Structure 1
Protein backbone atom coordinates (compact mmCIF):
# COMPACT_ATOMS: atom_id res chain seq x y z
CA UNK A 1 0.00 0.00 0.00
CA UNK A 2 1.26 3.47 -0.74
CA UNK A 3 0.49 6.39 1.49
CA UNK A 4 0.13 9.73 -0.22
CA UNK A 5 0.37 12.84 1.91
CA UNK A 6 -0.12 16.25 0.37
CA UNK A 7 0.18 19.79 1.62
CA UNK A 8 -2.89 21.69 0.45
CA UNK A 9 -2.32 25.39 1.22
CA UNK A 10 -5.32 27.48 2.28
CA UNK A 11 -7.50 24.40 2.64
CA UNK A 12 -6.00 21.71 4.88
CA UNK A 13 -2.84 21.38 6.89
CA UNK A 14 -2.69 17.72 5.91
CA UNK A 15 -4.33 15.47 3.35
CA UNK A 16 -3.78 11.71 3.35
CA UNK A 17 -4.83 8.81 1.13
CA UNK A 18 -3.93 5.15 1.67
CA UNK A 19 -4.21 3.55 -1.77
CA UNK A 20 -3.13 0.07 -2.92
CA UNK A 21 0.00 -0.15 -5.06
CA UNK A 22 -2.08 -0.95 -8.15
CA UNK A 23 -4.44 1.99 -7.45
CA UNK A 24 -7.54 -0.22 -7.40
CA UNK A 25 -8.29 0.17 -3.68
CA UNK A 26 -8.44 3.17 -1.37
CA UNK A 27 -8.50 2.24 2.28
CA UNK A 28 -8.48 5.63 3.96
CA UNK A 29 -8.82 9.25 2.99
CA UNK A 30 -8.40 11.99 5.57
CA UNK A 31 -8.35 15.76 5.70
CA UNK A 32 -6.99 17.76 8.63
CA UNK A 33 -7.46 21.49 9.14
CA UNK A 34 -6.89 21.76 12.93
CA UNK A 35 -4.75 19.28 14.89
CA UNK A 36 -6.04 20.69 18.19
CA UNK A 37 -9.58 19.46 17.53
CA UNK A 38 -10.85 15.85 17.68
CA UNK A 39 -11.32 13.53 14.71
CA UNK A 40 -14.42 11.90 13.23
CA UNK A 41 -14.82 9.00 10.80
CA UNK A 42 -17.34 8.33 8.02
CA UNK A 43 -17.93 4.87 6.59
CA UNK A 44 -19.36 5.06 3.08
CA UNK A 45 -20.08 2.50 0.35
CA UNK A 46 -16.97 2.76 -1.86
CA UNK A 47 -14.31 5.31 -2.78
CA UNK A 48 -14.26 7.13 -6.09
CA UNK A 49 -11.48 9.30 -7.49
CA UNK A 50 -10.59 11.47 -4.50
CA UNK A 51 -7.01 11.09 -3.30
CA UNK A 52 -4.47 13.08 -1.30
CA UNK A 53 -4.53 15.86 -3.89
CA UNK A 54 -8.15 15.99 -5.06
CA UNK A 55 -11.51 16.17 -3.30
CA UNK A 56 -14.79 14.98 -4.74
CA UNK A 57 -18.32 16.01 -3.79
CA UNK A 58 -18.61 13.41 -1.03
CA UNK A 59 -15.33 14.50 0.56
CA UNK A 60 -16.45 18.13 0.45
CA UNK A 61 -19.70 17.23 2.21
CA UNK A 62 -17.99 15.14 4.90
CA UNK A 63 -15.48 17.93 5.54
CA UNK A 64 -18.29 20.49 5.81
CA UNK A 65 -20.16 18.36 8.36
CA UNK A 66 -17.03 17.71 10.41
CA UNK A 67 -16.08 21.41 10.47
CA UNK A 68 -19.61 22.42 11.46
CA UNK A 69 -19.64 19.87 14.29
CA UNK A 70 -16.32 21.10 15.72
CA UNK A 71 -13.86 18.50 14.44
CA UNK A 72 -10.38 19.14 13.07
CA UNK A 73 -9.93 15.95 11.05
CA UNK A 74 -12.30 13.82 9.03
CA UNK A 75 -11.34 10.34 7.86
CA UNK A 76 -13.32 8.38 5.30
CA UNK A 77 -13.49 4.60 5.04
CA UNK A 78 -15.73 2.30 3.04
CA UNK A 79 -17.60 -0.99 3.10
CA UNK A 80 -15.76 -1.76 -0.15
CA UNK A 81 -12.32 -0.31 -0.83
CA UNK A 82 -12.60 -0.78 -4.61
CA UNK A 83 -12.35 2.60 -6.36
CA UNK A 84 -15.07 3.38 -8.87
CA UNK A 85 -17.34 6.30 -9.64
CA UNK A 86 -20.10 3.81 -10.50
CA UNK A 87 -21.35 1.90 -7.43
CA UNK A 88 -23.11 -0.62 -9.71
CA UNK A 89 -19.64 -1.66 -10.90
CA UNK A 90 -19.06 -3.09 -7.44
CA UNK A 91 -21.47 -5.91 -8.21
CA UNK A 92 -19.88 -6.55 -11.61
CA UNK A 93 -16.49 -6.84 -9.88
CA UNK A 94 -17.83 -9.27 -7.26
CA UNK A 95 -18.11 -6.67 -4.48
CA UNK A 96 -14.35 -6.32 -3.90
CA UNK A 97 -13.79 -5.51 -0.25
CA UNK A 98 -10.03 -5.04 -0.61
CA UNK A 99 -7.31 -7.15 0.99
CA UNK A 100 -6.65 -4.74 3.90
CA UNK A 101 -10.06 -3.13 4.35
CA UNK A 102 -11.42 -5.14 7.26
CA UNK A 103 -8.19 -4.79 9.26
CA UNK A 104 -8.32 -1.03 8.79
CA UNK A 105 -11.99 -0.93 9.86
CA UNK A 106 -11.05 -2.94 12.98
CA UNK A 107 -8.40 -0.36 13.80
CA UNK A 108 -10.86 2.51 13.34
CA UNK A 109 -13.41 0.82 15.61
CA UNK A 110 -10.78 0.10 18.26
CA UNK A 111 -9.65 3.73 18.29
CA UNK A 112 -12.93 4.86 19.87
CA UNK A 113 -13.37 7.62 17.28
CA UNK A 114 -16.93 8.80 16.59
CA UNK A 115 -18.24 6.91 13.54
CA UNK A 116 -20.88 8.14 11.09
CA UNK A 117 -22.18 5.46 8.72
CA UNK A 118 -23.37 6.83 5.38
CA UNK A 119 -23.35 4.17 2.67
CA UNK A 120 -26.79 4.81 1.20
CA UNK A 121 -29.25 2.32 -0.29
CA UNK A 122 -26.97 -0.01 -2.27
CA UNK A 123 -25.08 -2.00 0.35
CA UNK A 124 -25.77 -5.75 0.61
CA UNK A 125 -27.04 -6.85 4.04
CA UNK A 126 -24.25 -9.44 4.38
CA UNK A 127 -21.56 -6.77 4.12
CA UNK A 128 -23.39 -4.42 6.48
CA UNK A 129 -23.64 -7.23 9.04
CA UNK A 130 -19.95 -8.06 8.66
CA UNK A 131 -18.85 -4.44 9.10
CA UNK A 132 -21.16 -3.85 12.05
CA UNK A 133 -19.69 -6.97 13.69
CA UNK A 134 -16.22 -5.51 13.13
CA UNK A 135 -17.23 -2.16 14.63
CA UNK A 136 -18.98 -3.78 17.58
CA UNK A 137 -20.45 -0.60 19.02
CA UNK A 138 -23.18 1.96 18.31
CA UNK A 139 -22.73 4.27 15.34
CA UNK A 140 -24.50 7.35 14.05
CA UNK A 141 -25.82 8.49 10.69
CA UNK A 142 -27.05 11.63 8.93
CA UNK A 143 -30.54 10.26 8.38
CA UNK A 144 -32.28 7.01 7.57
CA UNK A 145 -33.60 5.95 4.16
CA UNK A 146 -36.98 4.25 3.79
CA UNK A 147 -35.25 0.86 3.62
CA UNK A 148 -33.46 1.53 6.93
CA UNK A 149 -30.04 2.23 5.43
CA UNK A 150 -28.02 5.28 6.52
CA UNK A 151 -28.27 8.20 4.11
CA UNK A 152 -25.30 9.16 1.93
CA UNK A 153 -24.07 12.73 2.56
CA UNK A 154 -23.78 14.03 -0.99
CA UNK A 155 -27.38 15.19 -1.39
CA UNK A 156 -28.26 16.22 2.14
CA UNK A 157 -28.57 19.57 3.86
CA UNK A 158 -25.41 20.85 5.55
CA UNK A 159 -27.24 21.71 8.78
CA UNK A 160 -27.93 18.10 9.85
CA UNK A 161 -26.79 16.68 13.16
CA UNK A 162 -25.80 13.04 13.63
CA UNK A 163 -28.44 10.67 14.95
CA UNK A 164 -28.19 7.13 16.24
CA UNK A 165 -28.40 4.50 13.51
CA UNK A 166 -30.65 1.72 14.85
CA UNK A 167 -28.81 -1.25 13.39
Structure 2
Protein backbone atom coordinates (compact mmCIF):
# COMPACT_ATOMS: atom_id res chain seq x y z
CA UNK A 1 0.00 0.00 0.00
CA UNK A 2 1.21 3.50 -0.83
CA UNK A 3 0.87 6.12 1.91
CA UNK A 4 0.92 9.79 0.94
CA UNK A 5 1.01 12.52 3.60
CA UNK A 6 0.65 16.29 3.42
CA UNK A 7 0.73 18.84 6.25
CA UNK A 8 -0.67 22.26 5.46
CA UNK A 9 -2.52 25.08 7.26
CA UNK A 10 -2.56 23.24 10.59
CA UNK A 11 -4.01 20.07 9.11
CA UNK A 12 -2.42 16.70 8.46
CA UNK A 13 -3.75 14.69 5.53
CA UNK A 14 -3.16 11.08 4.62
CA UNK A 15 -4.27 8.95 1.69
CA UNK A 16 -3.71 5.21 1.26
CA UNK A 17 -3.56 3.89 -2.30
CA UNK A 18 -2.87 0.64 -4.10
CA UNK A 19 0.45 0.51 -5.99
CA UNK A 20 -1.46 1.03 -9.28
CA UNK A 21 -3.28 4.08 -7.77
CA UNK A 22 -6.68 2.83 -9.05
CA UNK A 23 -7.76 2.04 -5.48
CA UNK A 24 -7.90 4.51 -2.62
CA UNK A 25 -8.30 2.56 0.59
CA UNK A 26 -8.50 5.42 3.03
CA UNK A 27 -8.38 9.15 3.46
CA UNK A 28 -7.72 10.96 6.73
CA UNK A 29 -7.74 14.61 7.82
CA UNK A 30 -6.56 15.65 11.31
CA UNK A 31 -6.89 19.24 12.53
CA UNK A 32 -6.86 18.58 16.31
CA UNK A 33 -4.83 15.51 17.33
CA UNK A 34 -6.07 15.80 20.93
CA UNK A 35 -9.74 15.25 19.98
CA UNK A 36 -11.41 11.99 18.86
CA UNK A 37 -11.94 11.12 15.20
CA UNK A 38 -15.03 10.08 13.24
CA UNK A 39 -15.12 7.55 10.37
CA UNK A 40 -17.47 7.82 7.39
CA UNK A 41 -17.99 4.58 5.45
CA UNK A 42 -19.35 5.43 2.03
CA UNK A 43 -19.68 3.70 -1.34
CA UNK A 44 -16.43 4.37 -3.21
CA UNK A 45 -13.72 7.04 -3.54
CA UNK A 46 -14.11 9.74 -6.15
CA UNK A 47 -11.62 12.54 -6.81
CA UNK A 48 -10.37 13.53 -3.34
CA UNK A 49 -6.67 13.05 -2.63
CA UNK A 50 -4.29 13.74 0.23
CA UNK A 51 -4.04 17.30 -1.11
CA UNK A 52 -7.58 18.08 -2.25
CA UNK A 53 -11.13 17.55 -1.01
CA UNK A 54 -14.06 16.78 -3.26
CA UNK A 55 -17.59 17.96 -2.31
CA UNK A 56 -18.30 14.79 -0.30
CA UNK A 57 -15.11 15.01 1.77
CA UNK A 58 -15.73 18.72 2.31
CA UNK A 59 -19.22 17.94 3.65
CA UNK A 60 -17.92 15.16 5.93
CA UNK A 61 -15.18 17.40 7.31
CA UNK A 62 -17.61 20.27 8.01
CA UNK A 63 -19.91 17.87 9.84
CA UNK A 64 -17.00 16.47 11.88
CA UNK A 65 -15.89 19.97 12.90
CA UNK A 66 -19.45 20.92 13.88
CA UNK A 67 -19.73 17.80 16.05
CA UNK A 68 -16.44 18.56 17.85
CA UNK A 69 -14.21 15.88 16.33
CA UNK A 70 -10.52 16.52 15.73
CA UNK A 71 -10.27 14.46 12.58
CA UNK A 72 -12.19 12.56 9.96
CA UNK A 73 -11.40 9.23 8.30
CA UNK A 74 -13.00 8.15 5.05
CA UNK A 75 -13.29 4.53 3.96
CA UNK A 76 -15.61 2.83 1.50
CA UNK A 77 -17.38 -0.41 0.66
CA UNK A 78 -15.43 -0.37 -2.62
CA UNK A 79 -11.92 1.10 -2.95
CA UNK A 80 -12.09 1.45 -6.76
CA UNK A 81 -11.79 5.14 -7.66
CA UNK A 82 -14.74 6.16 -9.81
CA UNK A 83 -17.10 9.09 -10.19
CA UNK A 84 -20.18 6.99 -11.01
CA UNK A 85 -21.57 3.86 -9.34
CA UNK A 86 -21.97 2.31 -12.82
CA UNK A 87 -18.16 2.24 -13.09
CA UNK A 88 -18.08 -0.17 -10.13
CA UNK A 89 -20.18 -2.68 -12.05
CA UNK A 90 -17.63 -2.71 -14.88
CA UNK A 91 -14.57 -3.11 -12.65
CA UNK A 92 -13.22 -6.66 -12.34
CA UNK A 93 -12.49 -6.16 -8.62
CA UNK A 94 -14.07 -2.96 -7.29
CA UNK A 95 -13.48 -3.93 -3.63
CA UNK A 96 -9.68 -4.06 -3.50
CA UNK A 97 -7.48 -6.40 -1.47
CA UNK A 98 -6.93 -4.12 1.56
CA UNK A 99 -10.46 -2.75 2.03
CA UNK A 100 -11.88 -5.09 4.68
CA UNK A 101 -8.79 -4.94 6.90
CA UNK A 102 -8.76 -1.14 6.75
CA UNK A 103 -12.48 -0.92 7.56
CA UNK A 104 -12.03 -3.15 10.61
CA UNK A 105 -8.90 -1.33 11.82
CA UNK A 106 -10.23 2.18 11.28
CA UNK A 107 -13.60 1.40 12.83
CA UNK A 108 -11.76 0.20 15.96
CA UNK A 109 -9.73 3.42 16.10
CA UNK A 110 -12.46 6.09 16.13
CA UNK A 111 -15.11 7.39 18.52
CA UNK A 112 -17.97 7.07 16.02
CA UNK A 113 -18.43 5.32 12.67
CA UNK A 114 -21.04 6.65 10.24
CA UNK A 115 -22.59 4.17 7.78
CA UNK A 116 -23.26 6.32 4.70
CA UNK A 117 -23.07 4.25 1.51
CA UNK A 118 -26.50 5.00 0.04
CA UNK A 119 -28.60 2.79 -2.20
CA UNK A 120 -25.75 1.29 -4.23
CA UNK A 121 -24.38 -0.63 -1.24
CA UNK A 122 -26.38 -3.61 -2.49
CA UNK A 123 -23.98 -3.99 -5.42
CA UNK A 124 -22.28 -7.40 -5.01
CA UNK A 125 -24.06 -7.61 -1.63
CA UNK A 126 -21.25 -5.45 -0.28
CA UNK A 127 -23.14 -3.60 2.48
CA UNK A 128 -24.15 -6.84 4.18
CA UNK A 129 -20.52 -8.03 4.03
CA UNK A 130 -19.14 -4.79 5.50
CA UNK A 131 -21.70 -4.04 8.24
CA UNK A 132 -20.39 -6.80 10.57
CA UNK A 133 -16.84 -5.40 10.23
CA UNK A 134 -17.86 -2.08 11.79
CA UNK A 135 -17.13 -1.81 15.50
CA UNK A 136 -18.10 0.43 18.40
CA UNK A 137 -20.60 3.27 18.10
CA UNK A 138 -22.02 2.93 14.56
CA UNK A 139 -24.43 5.63 13.40
CA UNK A 140 -26.12 6.88 10.24
CA UNK A 141 -27.54 10.17 8.97
CA UNK A 142 -30.95 8.78 8.05
CA UNK A 143 -32.21 5.96 5.89
CA UNK A 144 -33.44 5.92 2.32
CA UNK A 145 -36.95 4.74 1.52
CA UNK A 146 -35.51 1.24 1.07
CA UNK A 147 -33.57 1.30 4.36
CA UNK A 148 -30.05 2.14 3.16
CA UNK A 149 -27.90 4.60 5.16
CA UNK A 150 -27.98 7.98 3.42
CA UNK A 151 -24.92 9.47 1.73
CA UNK A 152 -23.72 12.66 3.53
CA UNK A 153 -23.77 14.77 0.38
CA UNK A 154 -27.56 14.55 0.36
CA UNK A 155 -28.23 15.16 4.07
CA UNK A 156 -28.44 18.47 5.92
CA UNK A 157 -25.35 19.29 7.98
CA UNK A 158 -27.43 19.49 11.16
CA UNK A 159 -29.07 16.08 10.71
CA UNK A 160 -28.84 13.99 13.90
CA UNK A 161 -26.65 10.91 14.17
CA UNK A 162 -28.97 7.92 14.50
CA UNK A 163 -27.94 4.53 15.87
CA UNK A 164 -27.23 2.04 13.08
CA UNK A 165 -28.42 -1.39 14.12
CA UNK A 166 -26.23 -3.94 12.40
CA UNK A 167 -27.96 -6.75 10.50
CA UNK A 168 -26.93 -9.39 13.06
CA UNK A 169 -28.71 -7.35 15.79
CA UNK A 170 -31.95 -6.51 13.99
CA UNK A 171 -33.21 -5.18 10.69
CA UNK A 172 -34.46 -1.91 12.20
CA UNK A 173 -32.80 1.31 13.29
CA UNK A 174 -33.08 3.29 16.48
CA UNK A 175 -32.98 7.07 16.93
CA UNK A 176 -31.16 7.93 20.14
CA UNK A 177 -28.74 10.67 19.19
TM-score when normalising by structure 1 = 0.92
Equivalent-residue separation in structure 1 for 2:93 and 2:41 (angstroms):
16
Q: Alignment partner of 1:76: what SS? A: strand
Local SS of the residue matching 2:101: helix
Number of residue pairs the alignment of both structures matches = 165
Instruction: Tell me the equivalent position of 2:172.
Output: none
- Offset, 1:60: 0.4
- The aligned residue for residue 131 of structure 2 is 132
Give the corresponding residue for 1:117: 115
Name the CA distance, whole Å, in 2 between partners of 1:3 and 1:72: 21
Deviation at 1:141, TM superposition (A): 0.5
- The C-alpha deviation readout for 1:25-61, integer Å capped at 9, x for no partner, is 0111011111121111000000011110010000000
Q: CA deviation at 1:142?
A: 0.7
8 Å contact from structure 1 (residues 13, 33) kept in 2: yes
> Structure 1 pair 132/2, CA: closer, same or farther in 2 (3 Å)?
same
Q: Distance in 1 between matches of 2:114 and 2:69?
A: 13
Unaligned segments of structure 2, at least 5 residues: 167-177
Spell out structure 1 runs of 4+ moving beyond 4 A: none
Q: Which runs of 5+ in 1 are unaligned?
A: none
TM-score, with length taken from structure 2: 0.87
Q: Is the 8 A contact 2:23 2:96 kept in 1?
A: yes
Are 2:71 and 1:64 aligned?
A: no
Q: CA RMSD in A?
A: 1.6
Q: CA deviation at 1:102?
A: 0.7
Equivalent-residue separation in structure 2 for 1:4 and 1:18 (angstroms): 7
Answer yes or no: is the 8 Å Cα contact 1:144–1:165 preserved in 2. Answer: no
Q: Whole-Å Cα distance in 2 between the matches of residues 28 and 52 of structure 1?
A: 10
CA distance in 1: counterparts of 2:11 and 2:164, whole angstroms:
31
SS, match of residue 105 in structure 1: helix
Q: Distance in 1 between matches of 2:93 and 2:132?
A: 18
Q: How does 1:89-108 map to 2 (within 5 A)?
A: 89-94=87-92, 96-108=94-106
Q: 1:136 Cα shift?
A: 5.2
Rate the CA distance shift 1:60–1:142 in 2: closer, same or farther, 3 A: same
CA distance in 2, matches of 1:123, 1:94: 17
